Each structure stands twice: as C-alpha cells, then as structure tokens.
Chains A and B, each alone.
Chain A
C-alpha cells in the first residue's frame, strides 16, 4: 500500500500526520510525505517553520519499532527550482519513507505528486472553519477530493470512530476501495455501516445486489457490519449527522449518483462541516 501525506505547517497537518503515521506504521505502507510551501517564499531555501514541522511529522513515523525506523542526519537537497527531497542516513526500516517539498500552488503540487507516486490514497488535514487554510487555498481538501484520481482521506481530528459509515449508490465498487475500508475498520476497531441510497422507486436492483455483496464481503471477514437505506433527498442531512461522530465514506466513482446528489458545493460543505474524518472513495 502506498500513502501520500500532504502537509503544511498548520495544526490540521500535524493531526493528519499523526493519523497517517499511525495508519502507515500498522499497515506497513510505503509513504511519501509531501511538504508544501507558498510560492511567495521565492527560490531560496525552505522556511525554518516548514523544516521544523517536517521533522516533527517524521518523528511520528520513525519510532524504533516502526517499519520506518532510523532516518537520521536529515538534509533537504534542492532537486529543481521549486522542489526539494530529504536525504537521511540509518534507514533501518523495512518500508520506504520519502520526504519531499514542493513550493507553489498546493493543489497542483499535490496532484502532480499523486500522478508521480500513484498512491492508494491521499491523506490531508481539514481545517476547522475560520482557522488558517491551506497556504491561502480555500477548501483545498474539498477540491482535492473532487479532482484526485485516487481515494482521499480528510482528517479532521485524532479520534477512533466507533463506526465507519460508507454510502453506496451504484453497482461498481472497486476492490481497492473495499480493501481501504477493511484497513480503516481494522485500524480503528470500528464497526461498519453500509448505506444504500434509495430514490423514489426504492433501491435499484443492481445497487441492492451490490449492497448485499458488500455486506457479505465484510461479514465473511469478521467485520461487524449492517446495511441501512436512506432516501436520496435525506442523504446530505444524514451524512452531516453521521459525520459528527463516525468516519464517513462516500463512494464517488464515475458512475455514482452520489456525484449528482453531492454537488461540488455540498461535498465542500460536508467536508468543511464534518466533525470527524471523511473518506472519499474512488
């Protein structure tokens, strides 16, 4: 498994780094930590604040018992006009931790790194309303969730949710997304609720069959799970309520009706208002 953690110097990135590290250490994932800095920093060395933040984030990953143990004598080496890569010695760990810095447009830089690394999912921190946002980019996690080619986990707080709620409205669910949910449920020792979205005519046959298949997939693997039906017109309210205490997952695949229900504005609102983390599954 590969994870891309995108982080700046703000508190939400600190929390996202803690959560990403906890997940990566348990799953032995390969990780790219991408530090982001504003374009107005010029072409000189990266700021002390970002360097300090990155070192803090690296510590979350590199405890002696971790698969990323080591990572000493760190040094950021300029790779191009606006990119740096960290070199380190003593990497005794079995898994790869790559640390990079990109300066400039945060969203563009995260997407560029995503195309390069092809991670299974991206982890970003979500700012609390009214607090500093991603290098001046309003709603960056929301925009990333809409545009990224892979799943995106927007971390809102350091908490183990009791339930992972996944909303499903179409019959195409990728194996990768099922497996990401497995790992999250295992990590948090949570139970799983699969929510089907019913329109006026009830749940379409194909979706109902897929829901049963998904439910069987998880119960056979010993995950406590159940299904619930929600009317499409009540979904955004349901998702907002659920996101107060549960980790909420939305399957926003190409064939998804959720994409229509959750217009870009509503998705932005949900991620912005969610009390807990939100996982956008692709």
Chain B
C-alpha cells in the first residue's frame, strides 16, 4: 500500500486507518460473521463446538463451490440462475452413467463435469452471442434442467452408486470434514487467487465495471463472459457430484432452490449485482454467514421456520449496509474535494484578464 501513497504530508486524512478499513471489500461480511458467532455463542455455548462448526462447513461446501462460479459471473456483469438445477441434473446423470450405463467411475465424473460445462456453454452462447438477457436464458435453463432431472430419474433416486463414490462422500479426516472440504478449499483458494492476482480476474473487473471501456481497451468481452458461464456450469456439476457422493445416491431433489441461496450468499458477501465489485472470498463468507445464521437459529432453539425469514432479512440488510458504506466513503471523498480548490490560487490571481 505504501508505494501507492504520496508523501505523508499530502496524504492527510484520506488514507486514515478507518478509511482504509472501510475500503476492505469483505468488511461487512466479516463484521457480520463475527457478531453472528458472538450472539449465537452467547445464546447457546454449543454453537462454536467442533460438531456445529463442522456441520456448518459441510453444509456450506456444496453451495459455496457454486458461489465461486457465480462470483466470477457477477463480477463480469452477468449471472446464472440455473446453477442449482444443473447441479441436480449432473448428479443424477453422472449417477446414471456409473450405474445403469455401466461407465467406470472416472468416466462418469468426467461425463458429469462435461455436461455441466456444456450447459454453461449454451447459456454463455445464448447470452453473449444471441443477446438473450442472462435472467431469461438461465431461468429457462433452470426449468429445462429441472425437467430433465425428472426425465432421467422418473422421480426415483439413482443408487446404489459404486463403492468409491460413497468412500469419497463419507471420508472424514479433520473434525467431520473429508474430501468434500478439501475440494472446496482448493476451488475457493484458486478462485480467489485468479480473481485477485491474475489478468483474467482484472479483465473481469474491467468488463463488469464498464463493458464499453473493456471493448475499447481490447478485451474480448464475449469470450470472457462465455468462459465464466462454462466455469459456473462446471463448478455446479462438481458440486452436484459431491452431493451425490455424500448422499450415496443421485437424488432428484439435489440442487433444488440453491440458485437463490447462492446469489443471496454471494451478494451478502459484497459482490455487486451490477458487476465489477466483490471477491470470491467475500462470496464464500457470504454463503457461510447465511449458513451460520440458519444453524445458529437451530442451536438457539428457535423454530426452523424462522430460517427463511432470517435469510431474507440478512440479504436486504447486507445490500443496504453496502450501499450506505459506499455513500459514506463518497461523502468523505467529497468533503476532501471541497478542501482542495479546483483552480490553483495562482491561476485565480491571473484570472481577471
């Protein structure tokens, strides 16, 4: 940060600690996570136990793998509503490949991932090339995928799966966490690195910030957004396969309603619905926060019926806080501006002509 700043005397209050703290994009969700932990811990000390924490992470794994893809999409200015249905469709299709089709497990997994990528490619093509709005295209794809789940399964879960899948799904080597958590951590770290530290990530911010500017500076907007759709489809597929392994069955209900949980979590984590703002880390913490509240409500003995109410309230509150924070930073900026005269004094003296 130091090399970004002018001499100390010039920087004045603009880069004060508080101002910089406000600039941390994940600040809101971090504060919320901490307060949430403090509140629920004080209501019932079981909240911070390894069991509850482990169950939270386990519950969060699947959705937040998808949230990584959704964060990429949202940062580049588009989004995908079909992620949950795709996860479900891939779970049952991949299961079918391994069972009734008799494919080897690795081929079943690759087939599933390829299906997810292909659906992402269709979404990407229709949005970036054919010009269908992302909302409509991915809503349509959500229905199609949900329908295909019924077609593939006729309503019955796909099982028994090969032994290996169950072993992966039920593995547990730290607290209650196993391979699922490992894959989640790897996907999250790689995703966060790509967004923050690579040209791919930077170009996505440029596209999401202003796609006209992106085109002018020579970024292939369509190709980047296309690849984001493919990434989101593939990560949804991965998530679906992991759920299937965990359940030891390709249940038709997998992924139902996840699209909204994913978007809610991502947005709560500070990723802007308008593009160009947010991080993968923020998105994951957002999903984590929502799960914390849901689990916390259970440990504190409230009726599970309050969970949805809480999620809805958090979503609106999070965006409201985000909007206010930006407004506050803008006001700080403007008050600085007022101190700095627009016209230097020397110019003013000579201005009389």
* B and A form one assembly: no
